[in-house]
Amino acid sequence: MKAFITRRKSLLVAASAVLALSLSACGGSSTTTPPVASASFEAGTTMEKLNKAQKITIGTKFDQPLFGQKGLDGKPVGFDVEMGKAIAAKLGIAADKIEWVETVSQNRESFIEQGRVDLVIATYTINDARKEKVAFAGPYYEAGQALLVNKDDTSITKPEDVKGKKVCSVTGSTPAKTIAEKYGAEVVPAATYTACLEPLRNKQVVAVTTDNVILAGYVDKEPDAFKLASDETFTKEPYGIGLKKDDTVFRNWINDQLEAFQKDGEYKKAWEATAGKVIKTTPELPAVNRY
Amino acid sequence: MDAVIASLPEYWDGFLRTLYLSVISGIIALIVGTLLAAMRVSPVAALRGFSMFYVEVARNTPLTIIFFFAAIVLPRLGVKFEQFEVAAIIALSSYTAAFIAEAVRSGVNSVPVGQAEAARSVGMTFTQVLGFIVLPQAVRTVIPPLINILIALVKNSSVAGAFFVLELFGYGRQLSNDYGDQVLWILLGVAFFYLLITVPLGLLAHFVERKVAIAR
Amino acid sequence: MTSVLYDVPGPKARLYSLIGSAAGILIILGVLAIAVVTLAQQGIFDADRWEIFYGPLAPDVWSLIGQGILSTLAAAAVAAVIAFPLGIALCLLRISLISWIRIPTQVVLEFLRGMPVVLMMLFVLLVFATGQFQAVVVGLVLYNAAIFAEILRAGIQSLPKGQREAGLAIGLRSFQSRMSIEFPQAVRRMLPSLIAQLVVLLKDTSLGYIVGYEELLRKIQIMADFLGPDFLFPAFFVGAAIYILINLSVSRIAIMIERRGSKKAAGGVAPASIRTGLSAGGNDPVAKDSVEGPGTK
């Protein structure tokens, strides 16, 4: 019992630390906010328009730990958010001039098409179906689908092991579809990934599935309860930055910036400030796809 | 449109599960609701108090919270179930029972006082008065509102889609992600299957209501 | 009324009743005790779980909860303000004398009433690609306007025919008679049902949780996501308590207004059938929507 209490105490301390961090992150000049460039752009480009307006609207997820998650103060934090801030800075827009909009899996394309957001940076997997409606800069990170299981479960090490068993995922998400159609699992739908943790804990489902980086966040929070079934992922999920389909100039420009971030260490810094707290190896920027 | 046709098996599966949730929860809610109504008019003060308290709290709690409780808090209390449908049924029937109790109680109140008095004067006990005289007469006035409550139940079962049960609404969300370009048709398809249950029930309610009105 | 169902209990029956009550209370207490002990074993009552409400994080936590309450109330208020006039308009169309207006309106109303509110919210969110707030509000407006329309229609139809006839006889046009004679009376008659429906509307804002609107429940979830699962239960219990308190107080206000209204009505126009409808909580077929209403999501 005593041990439990201390663990929980430490958890609270950790939570406070994260909170303090998130608070400082929004308090003006923080370590992760890159200096705002005084940029000038060719007339007629999206970059020029945004720079002139001194305002950019970015869609991100508010419920993905490490990538885009809303903090107690209402500001989103995570790697996606850092990427957004870095790009905004290159546009000459300060971090506090960014308007963050929550995009969920189902409305990302329509938000871009209707111009409700300028960019979507929201653990947004690049695929051909989506490329028909929007354009992608990047990828800026390559994730992959994995399985989260109970710590004491040794029966599941690969996706084939969940055939015919119950696996929890978010209703209508791509991971849910993959695990059902490719591996024959019975999908148990939930409103959020965190809601999935309770049935897993109670052993009402055998696993929770989504991208490995998100699951890593849960393992980090509760290392005594959960683990990843395997370090291998069984899909490739290249995360891209979504924007209007015909805006090739803007796309190429963002790709240039991503490569610059990799060179000047901005990418590493953004990673280490967010997802890098859990996933210790800093990834290299994947080769951007200039289609 | 072709997305809807291609997804007919999913729709059908979701439809059956919605129907299953509604029918089972409906039956349980009818029984529990009638019992609660009987408790409400019973001579035992504790039963009256309990029934009042239950109905008041259940009616004023959003269904989403009741679902959260049944699907996430109950397992922590040691009440675990293999099928998540059970949690949905617990949530739906405990919520609906409160409304049924209110409807039945008002039906009991609508039966003329003389009926109960006459029954008692020939020596019937409380259970006999209620079971043989009052409730059978109350049924007639109570049926239209009861049907409306059941329609609401069918629609309420959509909340289960967010709590681990893949029913019509859950499939609607899933399919609208699969066919991002045909969301309109996909969701209209879902609507159609709900109307397939709710509209006939609504017509039934109108019909019964008219019959009752004439009988008066 | 209820006492008509049984004799005034004698000493023996009172004793049984007392024993029965005591046993019932004991059983309920027992179940509660088991629940509390089970939860306590999982450490849910440990002080550090609740520290978020008074510890160093408390200001943020409470401001988050405050925002949640405000979002809930904002969505409900905006939806109610739009839904009511829209309900009157739909009702006018529904009782129009021209059949090609009346019948399509009836079809639309049946459609709206037969749809789950959360489905309408999702529809607005995805098809019109609005924000979550607009989706929640539009979903609530469409559904509740349909219900308001039906309630008002029932109210108008319960008026004695003479009201309209008198209006027409003194030279009012049909629309004038509706607006200045029939609607005011219908609204007053149906006030309890209308207010009951407002409570439903308030409760239904919690469906915003499912479509991602940051109302109270969603805020609670965000908070728990951020702080870690250990805090899910404390956060949930506090959130549920707040929700129930808000709804209960609105219901209380509704009952107060209802009482005042029925007193006025008793001296005035409302016939007996409406009054039984009131006290019975909407059993009267005229007021049936008030019964459907509260159960509706």
Cβ separation of B202 and C113 shorter than 8 Å?
A: yes
The verdict on whether omega for the bond into residue B136 sits within 30 degrees of 0, i.e. cis, is: no
pLDDT at C267: 44
The more confidently predicted of residues B1 and C261 is B1
Q: Do A106 and B177 touch (CB under 8 A)?
A: yes
Interchain pair B162, A202: CB under 8 A: no
> Which residue out of B10, B83, B164, B165 would a mutagenesis test of the A interface target, given it has the greatest number of A Cβ atoms within 10 Å?
B164
Q: How big is the CA angle at C6 (ends C5 and C10), to the nearest 5 degrees? A: 165
A vs C, Cβ pairs < 8 A, gives 82
Of A99-113, A128-142, C211-225, which has the strongest mean pLDDT? A128-142
Which of the four pLDDT bands, split at 50, 70 and 90, describes residue B144? confident
Q: Looking at A117-131, A200-214, C258-272, which range is the least confident one?
A: C258-272
Tell whether the model's pLDDT for residue A172 goes beyond 50.
yes
- Residue B130's pLDDT band (cuts 50, 70, 90): confident
Tell me which residue in A109, A188, A202 faces B80 most closely, judged by beta carbons: A202
pLDDT tens-digit map of A38-79? 667 777 888 888 888 889 999 998 878 888 888 777 788 889
Q: What is the pLDDT of residue C89?
A: 93
pLDDT along chain C (297 residues), means of 10: 67 83 86 85 77 80 89 95 94 90 92 92 87 92 94 89 90 88 87 85 91 86 77 84 88 80 52 33 35 39
pLDDT of C281 reads 32
Asked whether residue B208 carries a pLDDT value surpassing 80, the answer given is yes
- B175 CB neighbours in chain A (<8 A) are 172
Nearest by CB to residue C13, choosing from B43, B116, B176, is B43
In the prediction, which pLDDT does A6 show?
45
| Close Cβ partners of C47 (under 8 Å, ≥ 6 residues apart) | none
Instruction: Give CA separation, B97 vs A251, B33, B49, B51, C16, in Å.
Output: 57, 4, 16, 11, 27
Q: Which of A7-21, A149-163, A229-243 has the lowest mean pLDDT?
A: A7-21
CA nearest neighbour of C105 among C125, C89, C127, C81:
C89
% of chain A residues with pLDDT over 70: 87
Chain A contact for B145, CB < 8 A?
Answer: no
**H/E run at residue C167:** helix C161-169
Specify the pLDDT at position A233: 87
B81 interfaces chain A, CB cutoff of 8 Å: yes
**What pLDDT, on the 0 to 100 scale, is given for residue A266?**
87
Q: Is B183 on the interface with A (CB under 8 A)?
A: yes
Q: Cβ–Cβ of C122/B172 closer than 8 Å? A: yes
- Partners of residue A172 in chain B, C-beta under 8 Å: 170, 173-178
B176 touching A (Cβ < 8 Å): yes
**pLDDT number for residue B181:** 76
- pLDDT confidence of residue C256: 83
Tokens encoding B65:
């919270």
Model confidence at A9, pLDDT cuts 50, 70, 90, reads: very low
The mean pLDDT value for A226-230 works out to: 90
Q: What is the pLDDT at residue C105?
A: 94
C1–B130 CB contact, under 8 Å: no
Question: What rounded mean pLDDT belongs to chain A?
Answer: 82
What does the pLDDT average to over B201-207?
86
pLDDT of residue A18: 45
Write down the mean pLDDT value for chain B: 88
Q: What is the pLDDT of residue A38?
A: 66
Residue B215 has pLDDT above 60, yes or no: no
pLDDT tens digits, one per residue of B57-110: 898 899 999 998 899 888 877 777 888 899 999 999 999 999 999 999 888 888
Give the Cα separation of C99 and C165 in Å (integer).
20
Q: What is the pLDDT of residue C221?
A: 81
At A32, the pLDDT band (50, 70, 90 cuts) reads low
- The answer to whether the CB of C217 falls within 8 A of the CB of C206 is yes
C144: which residues sit within 8 A by CB, 6+ positions away?
A: C79, C80, C83, C87, C197, C200, C201
A82-93 average pLDDT score: 89
| pLDDT given at position C283 | 33
Flag whether pLDDT at A276 surpasses 80.
yes
ipTM value for the complex: 0.88
pLDDT tens readout for residues A234-260: 998 899 999 998 888 899 999 998 988
Q: Say whether C57 sits in a helix, a strand or coil.
A: coil
